[in-house]
């Protein structure tokens, strides 16, 4: 029996569908709208919130494994702390009470002990809590997760299609290593099954590219030749401060700081992915081709 938190999100929907094909899955959602996102999926629904310990005790009861996907991408530092850091602590307490035997945590490339961006700082706190909880665990750290029905890629595609100029924030030289959603889901399944495999697993697609190259190849897949314009980080701060007040935010100051940071690529050359057994990853051009294909 597997509990999936954050089950109605972009990654969560895909994870629940995959895991439910071979196991009993309890999908934790916060709202009726979240439950509707899982219509047609053979899973047990439970309402829960990581800020509500009582609801977590109910959700975790009888579970063998927990896949913890809850995260927010914008909000105040206090919100990141409450939902992602303290929320993970609440979940771990419920897991211990219920005798859960394994936890798979979705973290992110870019986190670490020196993290200053609230998102990465909260991810690191969650990782530290899981590492110290005494339960068998795995921590997955993906780069950008691409898919056609959520995440950043559909937004990038809209910008590339509709904007007269493609805005590239900063010099465009920072590198990213996008991983396709199906490959991430396979990593989750492998991590669920790989008992005794503790510690972080860095996840990225087969290619690391600069932001400039990513935008160029996305526009080629879409068949558009709109020129790019580089927006200096200092100039982007004003619009980001405005955008983050208008949900859903196109860009926040925290996200701008992430773009200014180090490359978002795996640091171990794919060694942890190979140990997990993850191979035959979807290439970047195929990811972009899928994003460009008309939706049926």
pTM: 0.94
Q: Report if residue 100 sits inside a domain.
A: yes
Q: Report if residue 254 sits inside a domain.
A: no
Nearest to 176 by CA among 217, 148, 123, 232: 217
CATH of the domain at 73: 3.40.50.720
Locate tokens 């590219």: which residue?
Answer: 209
Q: Report if residue 151 sits inside a domain.
A: no
Give buried/exposed letters for 151-183 (b at 16+ CB in 10 A, else e): bbbbebbebbeeeeebebbbebebbbbbbbbeb
**CB contact set of 40 (below 8 Å; sequence gap of 6+):** none
Q: Report if residue 273 sits inside a domain.
A: yes
Question: Average pLDDT in the 69-88 region?
Answer: 94
Q: Report if residue 136 sits inside a domain.
A: yes
- pLDDT tens-place string over residues 137-148: 999 999 999 999
Confidence grade of residue 296 (pLDDT, cut at 50, 70, 90):
low
Mean pLDDT value across the chain: 93
Q: Report if residue 189 sits inside a domain.
A: yes
Query: Which residues form the domain of 185?
Result: 2-146+179-203+265-279
87-101, 150-164, 205-219: least confident range: 150-164
Decide if 256 contacts 231 (C-beta within 8 A): no
Q: How many separate domains does the chain show? A: 1
Q: Report if residue 55 sits inside a domain.
A: yes
Q: Report if residue 20 sits inside a domain.
A: yes
- Dmax (CA) for the chain in angstroms is 57
């Amino acid at each position: 029996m597997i509990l999936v938190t954050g089950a109605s999100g972009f990654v969560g929907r895909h994870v629940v569908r995959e895991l439910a094909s071979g196991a009993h899955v309890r999908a934790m959602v916060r709202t009726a709208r979240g439950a509707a996102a899982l219509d047609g999926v053979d899973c047990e629904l439970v309402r829960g919130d990581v800020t509500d310990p009582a609801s977590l005790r109910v959700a975790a009861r009888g579970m063998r494994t927990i896949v913890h996907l809850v995260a927010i991408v914008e909000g105040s530092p206090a919100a990141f702390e409450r939902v992602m850091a303290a929320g993970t602590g609440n979940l771990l307490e419920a897991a211990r009470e219920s005798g859960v035997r394994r936890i798979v945590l979705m973290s992110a490339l870019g986190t670490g002990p020196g993290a200053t961006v609230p998102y990465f700082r909260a991810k690191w706190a969650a990782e530290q809590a899981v590492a110290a909880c005494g339960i068998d665990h795995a921590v997955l750290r993906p780069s950008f997760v691409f898919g056609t029905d959520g995440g950043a890629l559909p937004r990038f595609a809209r910008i590339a299609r509709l904007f007269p100029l493609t805005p590239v924030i900063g010099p465009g030289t920072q590198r990213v290593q996008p991983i396709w959603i199906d490959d991430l889901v396979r990593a989750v399944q492998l991590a669920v099954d790989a008992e005794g495999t503790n510690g972080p697993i860095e996840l990225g697609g087969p290619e690391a590219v600069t932001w400039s190259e990513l935008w160029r190849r996305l526009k080629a897949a879409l068949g558009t030749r709109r020129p790019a314009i580089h927006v200096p980080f200092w100039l982007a701060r004003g619009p980001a401060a405005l955008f983050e007040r208008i949900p859903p935010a196109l860009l926040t100051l925290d996200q701008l700081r992430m773009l200014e940071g180090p490359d978002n690529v795996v640091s171990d050359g794919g060694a942890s992915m190979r140990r997990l057994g993850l191979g035959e990853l979807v290439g970047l051009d195929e990811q972009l081709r899928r994003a460009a294909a008309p939706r049926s």
